[in-house]
Amino acid sequence: MARTTEEYRAAATSHLWRHFANPDASAINVMVRGEGCYLYNSDGQRFLDGVSNMFCANLGYSYGDEFAEAAGEQLRTLGYQAIWGSASTVAIELAERIISHAPEGIEHVFFTPSGGESVEAAWKFARQYFQLRGEKRWKALSRRLAYHGTTLGALALMGLDDYRTTFEPVVPGGTRFRNTYRGDRPEGETEEEFTAFLLADLEERILEEDPSTIAMIIVEPLQNHGGCLVPPAGYGEGVRALCDKYGILLVTDEVITGFGRVGAWFASTRYGFEPDMITVAKGLSAANAPMGAVLLSEKLHEEFSKPGVIVNHGNTFGGHPVSCAIALRAFDIMERLDLPGYVASKEGELRAALESLQDIPNVVSVSGAGFFYAIELTRFRPDGTQYAESELGEVYGPSAVAAPLAARGVLCRVMVEGGRPLMFIGLPLVADTSEFEFLRDNLRDVFGQVAEAQGWSRADVAQPVSAG
Ligand SMILES: Cc1ncc(COP(=O)(O)O)c(C=O)c1O
């Protein structure tokens, strides 16, 4: 017989260390099953999964039979094969399949077990690439507030200090430049001027670091942390041009954005980045198997495929055949649904639903694309004074926002980053109008409640205000 929720919580407190959480599990949801865009806990309560769990359950939870069939067939045929000296049929087929959707010029795949390890591998490939060319370049530039994983190497690229500082010194060579947050820029600055400003900042950082030591620049085409930051027009092309000017490799981290989240197979294409490498994970198997990859351009392949050279990196579970079989099935489903096309067709509707919340006085703005958004909430009290950062953590803390939302059946994440309270939204890519409306209506209720608690009057809460 299944155990009670309390029994599960007690056992979790005793034995399960959750990630980025205190081991006390006395109040956690214990999830049991999923269906469509919804999760069900051990008390039978249903939740709309507003963040695709970890921006990864892109197909929601209703394709279990198909994935089980693919995994079962592979397990019965060949449960494990490394891709060192040999390779499995499914690893070869999956590499081919990924490349059939990859941006032009990206032709090769190196499999990893996770997103962070993809980032780590990309950095190693960048270092080895320059070593093969007789250059000693080791540094990697990443953007402020960016999250690229939690291994000590990936942590060196971490733009969120709270995740990194405990573990310093991390791997040397990571340094950060400006992200594309625009809220602190002068009013009236054009998009073109903003792009020029960002590129000038990046070039300054490159020169400060000495370009001849920089192996790579890594950016998410649309940066999650810091507020789902969309690049301004010309930015992707501009970063590419700076990389070319100084001989630096460009890596786009598409661990979240890869495989349809922004209405294209890859966000790099939508935003004009033309990377030398792309890191992916999450959506590759639609979260049904732990799996990541580095996708590489011909430029890197040329160096690494020279006689006598080896790709000097590897691990046991990268390209596990069962994960590959599951990911191949994810491609069958994504292609059948034309997932990127579907997201593109629904982007406007979801965006409009979220933007309709901007009449609530504590909602500042909505940023993002496809099915990937952040709602910025105000840092200001009704009298115009600013909350201290510690106060923001309370005003928008779990008991004020996430818990009331969960009580209404919606799971979303709120964090204060760069001094700004942000709600992150990343519905499964199969979500439709009913999910958009359910999300919008519950966000409206909860943001409205928070606004009243902050001291905005009922009239203010009902009145449209300009998004600031
Ligand atoms: C952009 C980005 N890169 C890398 C990672 C790390 O992936 P993983 O958690 O699979 O190591 C994440 C995780 O959320 C991510 O969002």
pTM higher than 0.85, yes or no?
A: yes
How many CB atoms are closer than 10 A to CB 416?
A: 19
Q: Are 232 and 197 spatial neighbours (Cβ–Cβ below 8 Å)?
A: no
CATH class belonging to 339-462 = alpha beta
Question: Does the C-beta of 255 come closer than 6 Å to ligand 1?
Answer: yes
| Distance (Å, whole) CA 217 – CA 210 | 13
Ligand 1 centroid to Cα of residue 280, in Å, is: 9
pLDDT reading at 459 higher than 70 = no
pLDDT, average across residues 408-437: 97
pLDDT, average across residues 429-436: 98
Question: Does the C-beta of 256 come closer than 6 Å to ligand 1?
Answer: yes
Structure tokens at 35: 């269906």
Ligand 1 centroid to Cα of residue 388, in Å, is: 29
Ligand 1 centroid to Cα of residue 306, in Å, is: 31
| Distance (Å, whole) CA 238 – CA 227 | 22
In the chain, ranges of CATH 3.90.1150.10 domains: 339-462
Q: Comparing C-alpha atoms, which of 217, 202, 338, 199 is closest to residue 279?
A: 217
Structure tokens at 119: 């980032």
Q: Are 308 and 123 spatial neighbours (Cβ–Cβ below 8 Å)?
A: no
Question: Does the C-beta of 49 come closer than 6 Å to ligand 1?
Answer: no
If one residue of 118, 255, 291 were mutated to test the ligand 1 pocket, choosing by the most ligand atoms within 8 A of its CB, it would be 255
Q: Does domain 65-337 have CATH number 3.40.50.2000?
A: no
Q: Are 353 and 437 spatial neighbours (Cβ–Cβ below 8 Å)?
A: yes
Ligand 1 centroid to Cα of residue 450, in Å, is: 31
Nearest CA to ligand 1 atom 11: 116
Question: Does the C-beta of 113 come closer than 6 Å to ligand 1?
Answer: no
Question: Does the C-beta of 119 come closer than 6 Å to ligand 1?
Answer: yes
pLDDT reading at 461 higher than 80 = no
pLDDT, average across residues 221-234: 98
Confidence of residue 457 (pLDDT cuts 50, 70, 90): confident
pLDDT, average across residues 56-75: 98
Nearest CA to ligand 1 atom 4: 148
In the chain, ranges of CATH 3.40.640.10 domains: 65-337
pLDDT reading at 353 higher than 50 = yes
If one residue of 147, 280, 323, 413 were mutated to test the ligand 1 pocket, choosing by the most ligand atoms within 8 A of its CB, it would be 147
| Distance (Å, whole) CA 342 – CA 349 | 12
* Strand, coil or helix: 262: coil
| Distance (Å, whole) CA 67 – CA 285 | 10
DSSP letter at 447 equals H
pLDDT single digits (tens) 370-385:
999 999 999 999 999 9
